[in-house]
């Protein structure tokens, strides 16, 4: 029998089917001594009165702190979005939890054709909200200046929405991504991570970012980095020029490999299974280390 799979709050019909699919593949690859639970990061995980090994996917909540489950002894391993970071933005390595990529929040109804870069209509795109947290104010000013000062230098699609996952319907959203060479990816409301980064890659568009945390799933990801959003004109020009050269072929291959590994739920689940097996084999040896880390963390999401 495969492992039990629990979608605790039944929320994934709203988005992030990527994570639910990854958890499903993982549960199917494990036997019934395991339980795989998918939930929003926060309180609410019940106590299970049995001896199964509990695996928890903690999703959402952008604040990069330890989830409540981090302090429970009945959890074998946690796969966490917005992984715990220290004050310098480095991951807080520990034996209990492992960073999981956000993946895509939206998905097209049907697989869309990937258009070759030279045939794409837009040089760049941005579709999203400008939150009240102020984290995208600098980005918005830089984008407005770019459009005002460069005229028709770039062909672009820009739509600012009123809230998360509002505005364009999914198919139109992915059609624009698939017709763009570069997708501008400012940080989220509280974190440098954003679903848009992964949604762009899934459609063959290169994300442009200012910064990212040092997490494993960004190490080999293809993207363009700008020193500052106020430098976006020069960074875009250099990036688009690069995409017209033969030198970009390696980057295109890297993008394809990334989508087929990190952004493929079945492939990702195999990596996570290895982490489950390693955690199970080292659980007893790491008890003291885990307790020390727990004592050093004074807050949780």
Task: Please give the average per-residue pLDDT across 249-278, as a whole number.
Answer: 96
pLDDT of residue 301: 46
Task: Please give the average per-residue pLDDT across 243-261, as a whole number.
Answer: 95
Cβ neighbours of residue 295 closer than 8 Å, sequence gap 6 or more: none
Please state, for a pLDDT cut of 70, what percent of the chain lies above it.
96
Is 49 or 270 the better-scoring residue by pLDDT?
A: 270
Asked if residue 124 lies in contact with residue 191, where contact means CB atoms within 8 angstroms, the answer is: no
**Radius of gyration of the chain measured on its C-alpha atoms:** 20
pLDDT at 165 over 70: no
Averaged pLDDT score across all residues of the chain: 91
pLDDT of residue 164: 58
pTM, entire model? 0.93
The single residue listed with the structure tokens 């995208």 is 136
pLDDT at 43 over 80: no
> What would the two tokens of residue 198 be?
């992964």
DSSP conformation class of 91: B
Q: How many residues does the chain have?
A: 301
Condensed to tens digits (0 to 9), the pLDDT of residues 149-162 reads: 999 999 999 998 87
> Among 73-77, 162-166, 214-218, 258-262, whose mean pLDDT is lowest?
162-166
The single residue listed with the structure tokens 């947290």 is 133
Distance between CA atoms of residues 148 and 240, nearest Å? 19
> Among 50-59, 74-83, 110-119, whose mean pLDDT is lowest?
110-119
Distance between CA atoms of residues 209 and 131, nearest Å? 17
């Amino acid at each position: 029998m495969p492992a039990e799979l629990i979608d605790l709050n039944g929320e994934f019909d709203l988005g992030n089917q990527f994570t639910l699919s990854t958890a499903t593949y993982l549960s199917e690859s494990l036997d019934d001594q395991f339980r795989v639970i998918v939930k929003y990061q926060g309180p609410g995980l019940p106590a299970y009165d049995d001896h199964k090994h509990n695996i928890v996917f903690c999703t959402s909540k952008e604040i990069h702190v330890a989830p409540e489950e981090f302090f429970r002894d009945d959890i074998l391993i946690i796969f966490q979005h917005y992984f715990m970071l220290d004050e310098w933005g480095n991951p807080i390595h520990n034996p209990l939890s492992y960073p999981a990529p956000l993946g895509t929040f939206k998905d097209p109804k049907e697989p869309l054709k990937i258009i070759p870069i030279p045939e794409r209509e837009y040089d760049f795109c941005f579709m999203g909200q400008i939150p009240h947290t102020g984290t995208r104010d600098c980005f918005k000013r830089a984008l407005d200046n770019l459009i005002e000062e460069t005229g028709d230098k770039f062909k672009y699609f820009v739509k600012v929405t009123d809230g998360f996952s509002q505005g364009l319907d999914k198919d139109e959203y992915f059609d624009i991504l698939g017709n763009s060479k570069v997708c501008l990816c400012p940080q989220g409301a509280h974190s440098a991570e954003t679903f848009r980064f992964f949604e762009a890659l899934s459609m063959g568009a290169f994300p442009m970012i200012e910064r990212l945390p040092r997490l494993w799933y960004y190490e080999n990801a293809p993207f363009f980095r700008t020193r500052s959003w106020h430098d976006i004109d020069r960074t875009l020009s250099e990036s688009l020029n690069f995409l017209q050269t033969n030198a970009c072929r390696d980057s295109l291959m890297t993008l394809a490999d990334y989508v087929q590994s990190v952004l493929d739920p079945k492939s990702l689940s195999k990596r996570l299974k290895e982490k489950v097996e390693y955690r199970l084999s080292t659980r007893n040896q790491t008890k003291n280390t885990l307790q020390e880390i727990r004592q050093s963390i004074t807050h949780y999401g």
